[in-house]
Every structure is written in structure tokens, then in C-alpha cells.
Amino acid sequence: MAVKPKDQLALDEKVVVDAQLEQLLDEREDARAARLDAQRAFDSADAKAKARIETHDIGLDAAIRVGRYRISRTMSEGGHRDFEILPKPQTKIKAVE
């Protein structure tokens, strides 16, 4: 995803001409965009896998094996910090090597 350059944002903005820095910043932006695409793909695959896991009635503090994966369910503890944390089930997927 290309970023469209913006005009000057402030009167005190200093323009620096540094081709190497600009190239590094472009590479950084490309890597950031690739990371976001990869995160979206992972989030989608994770949601699909967890939805399928829900079809296998795994109780809390229990585990199953599916191929090279061990899937377990635990309950996270609730609590309160500056915001409330509610208890919720957690599903962990880990490759067993």
C-alpha cells in the first residue's frame, strides 16, 4: 500500500534531503504494510481454526491432540486494574515438535 505524500504540515517543518534515509523509510513502510497483511491473514485463519475447535466439546483444563497440535482450554482469571478484566476461556494452539 503506497502512502501518498502530504504537503507541508507546519510552518516550522524542516525539509531534509537524505536519499538513503528516504529509501530506509520506504522499506520500513513496505515492511509495515506486509506485516499488517500477514496479521490480517493470521487473524482470519486463527478465527476459522478456533471456530472449528469449538465444534469439539473440549472442557476447561482439558486438552486434545490433532496431528502435531495440542489444543488446551483454560479459564483466565478476572481482575481489576484501571479497567475491568472479565474471566474468559482461552484456547491455546501449539505445534508439538
User: With bands split at pLDDT 50, 70 and 90, how would you rate the model's confidence at 2?
Assistant: low
User: Domain residues of the chain, as ranges?
Assistant: 14-55, 57-97
| Non-local CB neighbours of 85 within 8 Å, separated by 6+ positions | 76, 77, 78, 79
Q: How confident is the model at residue 8 (pLDDT cuts 50, 70, 90)?
A: low
Handedness of CA 7, 12, 15, 16 (dihedral sign): negative
Say yes or no to pLDDT of 93 above 90.
Answer: no
Kindly report the pTM of this predicted structure.
Answer: 0.63
Dist. CA 45–CA 37, nearest whole Å? 12
Q: Is the pLDDT of residue 79 over 60?
A: yes
1 pLDDT more than 60:
no
